[in-house]
Chains A and B, each alone.
Chain A
Amino acid sequence: MASIPTRREAAERYANLPQVRRWRDGNYEPGAWFNSDPESPESPWGNWGREFKPTRRGITTVDLNRAFDDVPDQGAGLVVDRGGGADAGATRWEYPLNQRYEVWAYNLESLLEEAISRQWSATSDLPWDKLEPLPDDQERAMCQFLSFLHPVEFTPTDILPHYMMRVDPSFPEVRQFMATQCADESRHMEAFGKRMFANGGGPGIEPTAEALLSMSADTLSSALKPEDHPDVIGPTNPRATWEFLGMSYSVQMMGEAVVLDFFRFGEFLGRNPCDKEMFRRVLQDEARHVSFGTMRIKYYLDHAPAEERERALEMLHYFASVDEATASGFGLLINPNVIEPFALMAAGSTGELDKGWDMVREFWAGCVEEYLARCDRAGFPRRDKCLIPREAPF
């Protein structure tokens, strides 16, 4: 640990810095950042002469990247954004994610712009004044469903920043997109939390209690024994220690896809303009995250070196098998604190529960089919491997 200078020592040091002495002497000649030819390789300046005429979208990352085509295969290891210059001896940092194929997604730039363009406010963009009282059983079902979504939605924000800081700044689009997802998830948590208090229901019972209890019993947690996959599922699931690709699959593609379908179902079942609008807005955001996850995996598999691709595929299939059979897949779809409220909302009343269960079964099949279609698109088909039943097992 470096010693702390005294105030006097510090003052002396400041006063004797070469640039300070120069300025004190009235020499204001700027340094190489200003005086070098910006286009010379020796210059610490980055790029020059970049010009772009705004379109109706303003200036977008899509357009800039199309115009300049400067995304490198490997990050520069600097602390400045892509295109920034540095002195010849500048420190090169080891960012754990510094290869383009490790971080990029096919539709990254457009998703980033869409994310920025479609931000909204849980406080003021929902028609809270259009909430209407629901029958008690319906309000109870809605609030139990929301009690589950409230913390679950924030989970990605707990871990995404760890991945952001691992990404080389040569890929700012990746960092920025993940930050938009943090804001999205936070807003969802906020919207669901507020909705629980807005219409007489209040928070329901502890939503994950059943899952916790199931893990303590002799019963299998969700059809796989925890000791089969100690590195994938744990008490802090999901983990910021997972490979980025595994995290993208588990959180941004698989988990969010199921939740996206929950949101679509929530909108379907919403009985007033406020609930409808809330789910419509959150499903838009969630679809963006799923799209990123899916197209990121595809980009990885299309661009990784052959050996790495094979390894990644094996790892992804392992991840997928575990996730499908446990928490994010099967475990989520049979969580009674989620699925039973669904059935009741779909039924409209306790007297019509059978009708509600039929609808839940239809939902299940659609949800799995869409997930499988995304796996196909991402380049790791799961149709003959998937461990979520194609039809609801109940």
Chain B
Amino acid sequence: MSEKRERLRTLEMPRLRPRPLPPREEVVANQSRHFQTVKLSRGELGHWFHTPLDGGEWSEWGKRARPDAVGMTYMAVTEVCDRPVPEVQAYRRLMHSRFVKPSPRVPENLEERLAPKWGGAREIEEKYEVWIDDAGPLAEEALDRQWRPALSLRWEDMQRLPPPLERAFDQILTWLLQCEYFCSDAVGGYVGRLHYRFVEIKSYLAYEIFDYALHANALRKRLLSNGGGMGAQVEGFDAGLLEVCNEASQGFSGEVPRDFNAVVLAIDVWLNGVMLDLLRLAAAGARSEFDRRLLERVMQDCARHVSWGCKRIGCYLRDAPPEREAAERLHAVADRFEPAQVEGHLLNPRVLEPLALLLGGGPENAAAGWSVLREFWPQIGERWLARLDAVGLNRRDRCQVPTQPPF
């Protein structure tokens, strides 16, 4: 067995050492004379009830959003809301949405002490780092298209496959499972580092994490129930990405900037894009309607993740201040992962061989499958470049994903 290593980095989790606390009687006595206890004992209503509804600390009194054709969407709300997009920069507080006015009674020195820049939801607080045009509709789409396996999948329709095809299909699902966990781990740590002004974005990311778990759950069930089983781990599927993600997060510790957009480019635009393309191949090679439908569900979600990633990168390139050198930073990130990723997925025998078997219909007809792969393969790099073109990051003279298959 080789040596153990740390993977995607996150914060240390040291063992907590209990400290002595005051006696219970003292705590209870403090509670009974606590100023809020005393205030509540008077039975009166406080500031929230007396502040003027117009011109005081209350916001948006009298606004009534009406559900649209889908329901009570973010769009229906922002239609009547005075802060449809998070323009205001001044919200230092943690856990503070843009819809609530910060209390002027909290002094600045306290605010600084309680809401430090590093270690929480103020780390990524600039609009250009986070926001996308149409954030509401994308979050709504994520929600609306969330599938419910109990309703969407009829497991009784699952069909037995000849063992070679079952094995090939299971191998692809095993690869996909690894990708799902990696994406979730890489993106997840950022949710708590985004400011609450961007609730739609935080919300969207939470749903994206859920998508990955839902996929993993359904794929695992499929793998373990149709006569086959969990296949062989695909080494190197995360090559390049692991390093990019760890550099971007710096393990989420220390007072250093995190490069959220590097991770969006790597995970949402690139990796989800690869998953989407290879899933299309797998769905084309799927031998039963159930298997095809399962993959189509996953594909739809991957496509949404790619779409979010492209929008985010597009807004970043458009809105980041020049000194940020956004384009060059992103190029440098892509330079890092592209070569390793081509090997990790697009030339990995544990990914391409099962696809060829499925597309050919079995080992005896693998050549036909390889022929389909050869024909399809250039599209993967082309689509990656086309997406980057569309968001304003031209990598055509720099990209290390070949336009023709080397096999």
Interface 0/1 of A346-371, CB less than 8 Å to B:
00001001100100000000000000
Cβ contact within 8 Å between A11 and B207: no
Cβ contact within 8 Å between A205 and B342: no
Chain A residues lying within 8 Å of B339, measured Cβ to Cβ, are 4-5, 10, 13
Verify if A121 is at the interface (C-beta below 8 Å from B).
Answer: yes
CB distance from A85 to the nearest CB of B (A): 5
Verify if B324 is at the interface (C-beta below 8 Å from A).
Answer: no
Q: How many residues of B contact A (CB 8 A)?
A: 168
Most buried by A among B10, B16, B120: B16
Find B46's partner among A80, A199, A224, A340 (CB 8 Å cutoff): A340
Verify if B185 is at the interface (C-beta below 8 Å from A).
Answer: yes
Verify if B376 is at the interface (C-beta below 8 Å from A).
Answer: no
Q: In the complex the two chains form, what is the Cα distance from A188 to B82 in whole Å?
A: 22
Cβ contact within 8 Å between A242 and B16: yes
Verify if B8 is at the interface (C-beta below 8 Å from A).
Answer: yes
Cβ contact within 8 Å between B4 and A92: yes
Verify if B268 is at the interface (C-beta below 8 Å from A).
Answer: no
Verify if B250 is at the interface (C-beta below 8 Å from A).
Answer: no
CB distance from A176 to the nearest CB of B (A): 4
Residue of B nearest to A198 (CB): B65
CB distance from A302 to the nearest CB of B (A): 20
Cβ contact within 8 Å between B232 and A85: yes
Cβ contact within 8 Å between B184 and A179: yes
Q: In the complex the two chains form, what is the Cα distance from A164 to B106 in whole Å?
A: 35
Cβ contact within 8 Å between B1 and A325: no
CB distance from A248 to the nearest CB of B (A): 13
Verify if A215 is at the interface (C-beta below 8 Å from B).
Answer: yes
Q: How many residues of A contact B (CB 8 A)?
A: 171
Binds B, one of A25-33, A265-273, A372-380: A25-33
Residue of A nearest to B62 (CB): A200
Find B203's partner among A90, A189, A208, A385 (CB 8 Å cutoff): A189
Binds B, one of A255-263, A279-287, A293-301, A316-324: A316-324
Chain A residues lying within 8 Å of B207, measured Cβ to Cβ, are 183, 186
Chain B residues lying within 8 Å of A89, measured Cβ to Cβ, are 1-2
Find A205's partner among B36, B51, B67, B216 (CB 8 Å cutoff): B51
Chain A residues lying within 8 Å of B214, measured Cβ to Cβ, are 116, 176, 179
Cβ contact within 8 Å between A334 and B34: yes
Q: In the complex the two chains form, what is the Cα distance from A117 to B2 in whole Å?
A: 41
Q: 10 shortest A-B CB distances, which residue pairs?
A: A161-B188, A158-B192, A202-B60, A179-B213, A186-B206, A318-B18, A183-B210, A46-B230, A124-B71, A54-B155
Query: Can you list 21 residue pairs at the A/B interface with Cβ under 8 Å?
Result: A10-B338, A14-B406, A15-B406, A23-B352, A28-B356, A44-B233, A50-B225, A54-B155, A59-B155, A64-B224, A82-B230, A84-B174, A116-B217, A117-B148, A162-B188, A176-B216, A182-B210, A183-B209, A200-B64, A205-B100, A246-B16
